[in-house]
Amino acid sequence: MGWFKLALILAVVVAVAKGIQLFNRHCLRRFGHTFFTMRGFWLTAIAVNLIWWGLYFWAKAIQQHTPTSDGLILIALGLAPTAWLLYENIRDTDLLHGIGGSSLQLALFFPLAVASFPLLLVAMVVIVVASYKGGPALFIDR
pLDDT at 122: 84
Contacts of 62 (CB under 8 A, 6+ apart): 68
Residue 36's pLDDT band (cuts 50, 70, 90) = confident
3-state class (DSSP) for residue 86: helix
Q: Where are the domains of the chain?
A: 37-141
CA distance 33 to 95: 13
Rounded to whole angstroms, how far apart are CA atoms 44 and 89? 12
**What confidence category does residue 37 fall into, taking pLDDT thresholds of 50, 70 and 90?**
confident
pLDDT at residue 133, rounded to an integer: 65
Q: Average pLDDT of 29-43?
A: 89
User: pTM of the predicted model, to two decimals?
Assistant: 0.72
Q: Is the pLDDT of residue 29 over 90?
A: yes
